[in-house]
Structure 1
């Protein structure tokens, strides 16, 4: 089970990440691009994916953890129910979102973040 504090800790551990509000909720940016933000619905994270195919795979694999709404139709992001995801998988999702938006590979946890 994860929460907003876990998202913040994991997201800001990635290289050159800044946090600033977007649509009134905390959002995380790398290379000037948003890669994740808290949704207006409590306990839900919006997390960017590399493309729609990747998003659809998550939606099909586990609809209890991952979902979308009409607002995000055609958008390469997935909504994540934080209460349904553990910290390890959340860290992986955030690293992949960071990579999708920066075009770089995220360093392994504990590695030199001088990317």
Structure 2
């Protein structure tokens, strides 16, 4: 993916906007951290990823998934943009969206998706 594709996927979620997290450009939803691109390694910070899942992802696709010491104690994983599948990225964001979006927004989003599917 490209950075533009990352932005298009993230901003397609209702309420997602570009902002700052800890002084760095990021995507926020409902005022909360959604994801961001790490300039250091051109990777995305993906939250809501349990430790077991993270280990499995890093073992199965080490060219895509990794962590740094900073993230080792958080339920998250880093994913290199160049090798991350867009559908997988969307699925990771959907998990986060369902957790931090307002329930009414999630319900409307789900209803809209049923109509278009």
Query: What is the CA-CA distance between 1:94 and the residue it aligns to?
Result: 2.0
Question: Which residue of 1 is the match for residue 9 of structure 2?
Answer: 10
* Residues 69/42 of structure 1: CA separation in 2 closer, same or farther (3 Å cut): closer
| Aligned mate of 1:111, from 104, 109, 113 | 113
Within-5 A mapping of 1:30-45: 30-45=29-44
Confirm whether residue 67 of structure 1 aligns to residue 69 of structure 2.
no
Question: Which residue of 1 is the match for residue 26 of structure 2?
Answer: 27
Query: What is the CA-CA distance between 1:43 and the residue it aligns to?
Result: 2.2
Q: Distance in 2 between matches of 1:38 and 1:49?
A: 16
Unaligned runs of 5+ in 1: none
Question: Which residue of 2 is the match for residue 55 of structure 1?
Answer: 54
Kindly report the root-mean-square deviation, in angstroms, between the aligned alpha carbons of the 2 structures: 2.6
Which structure has greater helix proportion?
A: 2
* Length-normalised TM-score, structure 1: 0.76
Answer yes or no: is the 8 Å Cα contact 2:49–2:77 preserved in 1: no
The count of residues paired between Structure 1 and Structure 2 equals 110
Unaligned runs of 5+ in 2: none
* Length-normalised TM-score, structure 2: 0.75
| Larger of the two Rg values belongs to structure | 2
The range that moved more, 71-80 or 93-102, is 93-102
